[in-house]
Amino acid sequence: MTNLQTAVLDPHLHNSRFLRACRGESVDATPIWLMRQAGRYMPEYQAVRAGHTFLELCKNPELSAKVTLDAQRILGVDAAILFADLLPILETLGLKLEYLEGEGPRLSPPVRSAADVNRLTELDPKTSMPFVYDAIGLIRRELPRDIPLIGFAGAPFTLAAYAIEGESSRNFIHTKTLMYNDRGAWHALMGMLARVVSKYLHAQIDAGVQAVQLFDSWVGTLAPEDYREFVLPHSYAVLQSVKGRVPVIHFGVGTSTLLQFMAAAGGDVMGLDWHTPIALTREKFQFKAIQGNLDPIALFANREVLKRKAMQVLDDAGDTPGHIFNLGHGILPKTPVDNVKFLVDFVHESTRR
Ligand code: CP3
């Protein structure tokens, strides 16, 4: 954080558990929030969602604000996350976005060649996504004053993968084919994504979020050398651009072998999935703060197992300051809400200092 930002931040927020942990400072109890904490597993979300498509919800500041605030209040978590999605920013490139019931996102036409990249537009997300900043304003007004609000964006690779595949994918064949066969088109697309994502994050910070998370959800599909060559420079551009304004969480799944390069790309907090041991990783890469990393499926298990698995994460994180408890990936639909509340209370109670 720059001195300027520290000076203007409300002391209640500045000294919140979550922001203290992001800075690697000591806390009275380990902060916890959960990726996708507002979502289909929660009846209050389903009630709001019932009358609207998902995209309508994302573009309606009042409803998005309600969904964000409901989740924070119901769960008692230490941070709220903006209710939005990774993919609407791809509309600023001229792609059509739909969410098909039961099938997931669709982007069209998929970007598969240099000619397709050249046809993309590059609108400024500052003006093309006003609903996001309006939602941030509404949320910040209603959130308790010691609860930070997290903004977020997809990292260039994960967004490129959606733009190129046109949907979720297992093998990322089209993505890697473009990456390997046409470096020029690849770097042009990634450069464009890095520019719009940087502007988008700056605009969220201007609108009032206290931290941001860069989601590189699908980057685990890459070999380390491919990450270094094809992804690192672009994630670096985004992370360097917002560095020092607010703490930045850099997150991906399946990243154990990529962490060295992800660390080089930047971020104040490294988000780990459940394949990655906390203490060993921390020591090896000297991360000041770590977020993670309970297996989201542990929330489907009985309470004894859930407690044991949560304790394993806490033990692995140890007493070193700079741990934010989270899942190793987002909460899944059908997760029992009571178990999520139980986990939040358990983490607070068992780490009270
Ligand atoms: O964390 C939060 O509570 C904030 C909201 C949030 C959503 N998506 C809401 C959402 C966040 C941070 C995301 C990020 C996101 N979106 C990612 C990265 C997440 C990760 O865990 O790595 C990705 C890959 C997406 C793209 C996306 N959006 C997918 C693959 C889907 C699922 C499609 C499906 O039908 O299963 C979505 C939809 C989505 N995003 C929902 C929610 C609550 C469900 C929408 C609904 O049907 O109501």
Set 23, 49, 73, 228: catalytic member: 49
Q: What is the pLDDT of residue 43?
A: 98
Q: What is the pLDDT of residue 2?
A: 43
Mean pLDDT of 296-318: 98
Q: Ligand 1 center to residue 107 CA distance, Å?
A: 15
pLDDT in tens, 237-248: 999 999 999 999
Is 40 annotated in the active site? yes
Q: What is the pLDDT of residue 1?
A: 40
Q: What is the pLDDT of residue 6?
A: 45
Q: List Cα–Cα distances, 332 to 28, 45, 119, 191, 319, in angstroms.
A: 29, 13, 36, 32, 29
Tell me: pLDDT of 4 over 50.
no
pLDDT in tens, 40-65: 999 999 999 999 999 999 999 999 99
Mean pLDDT of 4-21: 84
Mean pLDDT of 197-213: 98
Asked if 218 and 211 touch (Cβ cutoff 8 Å), the reply is: no
Q: Ligand 1 center to residue 78 CA distance, Å?
A: 20
- For atom 35 of ligand 1, which residue has the closest CA? 104
Tell me: pLDDT of 215 over 50.
yes
pLDDT in tens, 254-291: 999 999 999 999 999 999 999 999 999 999 999 999 99
Mean pLDDT of 11-32: 98
Is 49 annotated in the active site? yes
Mean pLDDT of 92-113: 96
Q: Calculate ∠ Cα 342-343-344, nearest 5°.
A: 95
Q: Is the minimum distance from the CB of 215 to ligand 1 under 6 angstroms?
A: yes
Among 55, 58, 86, which is best to mutate for testing ligand 1, by the most ligand atoms less than 8 A from CB? 86
Question: How many other C-beta atoms can be found within 10 angstroms of the C-beta atom of residue 21?
Answer: 26
Is 70 annotated in the active site? no
Is 85 annotated in the active site? yes
Mean pLDDT of 216-233: 98
Q: Is the minimum distance from the CB of 86 to ligand 1 under 6 angstroms?
A: yes
Q: Is the minimum distance from the CB of 300 to ligand 1 under 6 angstroms?
A: no
Tell me: pLDDT of 68 over 60.
yes
Question: How many other C-beta atoms can be found within 10 angstroms of the C-beta atom of residue 279?
Answer: 13
Q: Ligand 1 center to residue 85 CA distance, Å?
A: 6
Distance CA 166, CA 162 (A): 5
Is 140 annotated in the active site? no
Q: Ligand 1 center to residue 353 CA distance, Å?
A: 34
- For atom 22 of ligand 1, which residue has the closest CA? 217
Among 42, 44, 85, which is best to mutate for testing ligand 1, by the most ligand atoms less than 8 A from CB? 85
Mean pLDDT of 34-40: 97
pLDDT in tens, 313-346: 999 999 999 999 999 999 999 999 999 999 999 9
Q: What is the DSSP string of 228-283?
A: IIIIHHHHHHHHHHHTTTS-EEEEESS-TTTHHHHHHH--SEEE--TTS-HHHHHH
Helix (H) or strand (E) segment spanning residue 161: helix 156-165
Which pLDDT band, with edges at 50, 70 and 90, does 8 fall under? Answer: confident
Q: Is the minimum distance from the CB of 257 to ligand 1 under 6 angstroms?
A: no
Tell me: pLDDT of 216 over 70.
yes
pTM for this one? 0.96
Of residues 131, 143, 129, the one with CA closest to residue 57:
131
How is residue 151 annotated by DSSP? E
